[in-house]
Structures are given as C-alpha cells and as structure tokens.
A and B are shown apart, each in its own frame.
Chain A
C-alpha cells in the first residue's frame, strides 16, 4: 500500500470507530530483521534479512501515522516496540516459511554461507529471525478534519 493509500485507509478507519474509539497499529520497525543461530550457551548472529524494496513500506507506514496525527484525526497515546521472533529447526525450514509469508524477502549468499557455517558447529539448535516491531495506540479525535480534507 502506497503512503497516500495508508493515510486514506486510516481516515476510513477513523469513520468506522465510535467516538472515543482507538486503533492499534503494529508494523515492522526501522531496523533490519536479524538472523541468529541458537546454541546452548548463546546465539550467533549470521546476517540480516533484506527486502527487494529496501523496507520502504515500513517508513511509509510510520509517515502515514504521523500524518493522520498532524491532520487532527487521531491523538498518539502510546508508542513502543517489541521483538517478534520466528524459530526454525533448520535454515531450509525458515526459507520455506519466508517464501510463503514474506514475498519480498531476500536471503543473501553471505547470509546462507554464515548460517550453513553456524549449523556445522556442534550444538546448533535452531535459527531465529528477530524483527523489531513498532506498536502504537492512536485515539480517534472526534472533532477531526472532515473527510474532504483528507487527501
């Protein structure tokens, strides 16, 4: 969804919320997701997940939220972040999962080589993908701008 489409969607949701209602948005944060291989005594970083569009939509999502707040449709009440972790027993399992669920993910040859090297070490247990996810609560502002003002 392009940035203007995101703003439009948020304005439609504003109309669907009751007075005093709120929305909670979750979207990936600015940092690239990290792959690590887990061992009994810790984990070993093996690389980042890349995207074909260099994660542009996440910056657009953040901009759209800021825009609807500045337009007076919503009031930002809380913003935070949490780690979202996906676990796979083997790299191939992670790769299949991403192919199904993360269409523009790119797994570089350097990442593949590092992961393979880590899994050759004794005690390698699983591979983890850690995403930092931004979460925010935005309260509907009842005297917000009329729909016609929202481009």
Chain B
C-alpha cells in the first residue's frame, strides 16, 4: 500500500507554509506521524498532539532518530493541551484531516 507517493500533500503544505526553519509547529491530530515525518526535519520544533494512545505509541516507536530532538509527541487532544500550556507559543498550526 502506498499513500501519496506523488507527494502532493507535502508539496501543497510547503507551498502554503513557506520556510519552516526555526519555526515552532503545532500539529493537531498527528496520528501515527505519517505527515509529521515529511516536514519535521525542516522545522525548529514540532509538538504533535494525538488523543489516541495507540497511535502515539506507534509514532514514538517509528520516529526517525534524526527527528527525535525535534518532534515531541503529546498524548492529548487540543482541549486538554490548551488548558495545560501558556498561549502564544506557536508560529504555525497544522490540522491535517483532524477537524
């Protein structure tokens, strides 16, 4: 099974996001990290929220070594996360298939 080998999704994301270098990114509903792996190396830091524990475990297990200092997987939904942190933290939020 191959999903988006044409890389249309990451191309569209890059086009709209512009350069990610040094930026703090919030990904809401990151699932098993499928999209995260494709852009995280370009970002300053990624906080990836996913409420399903099983998916977070899979993402942490599969996270490439080079991305481990950059990506933080958080097993929370947006409501719980927003209640636990300060505001004005992120340059960019990505909602990929999560609304």
Contact = CB atoms under 8 A, between A and B. Distances in A.
Interface residues of A, number: 41
A21 B12 contact: no
10 contacts: A9-B99, A13-B78, A13-B93, A16-B85, A17-B93, A19-B88, A21-B91, A60-B99, A82-B8, A135-B16
Q: How large is the interface on B (under 10, 10 to 19, 20 to 34, 35 or more residues)?
A: 20 to 34
B99 A64 contact: yes
Interface of B: 1-6, 8-9, 11-13, 16-17, 26, 28, 78-79, 82, 85, 87-97, 99
A1 interface: yes
A39 B34 CA distance: 28
A26 B96 contact: yes
B77 to A, nearest CB: 8
A70 B80 CA distance: 26
Interface stretch (A44-52, A86-94, A109-117): A86-94
Given A12-B79, A25-B95, A83-B8, A18 B1 contact: no
Given A9-B99, A13-B26, A25-B99, A18 B4 contact: no
A49 B5 CA distance: 20
Q: Please list the 3 inter-chain residue pairs (A to B) with the smallest Cβ-Cβ separation, ordered nearest first.
A: A61-B99, A23-B93, A12-B82
A32 interface: no
Contact of A9 (B78, B90, B96): B78
A80 interface: yes
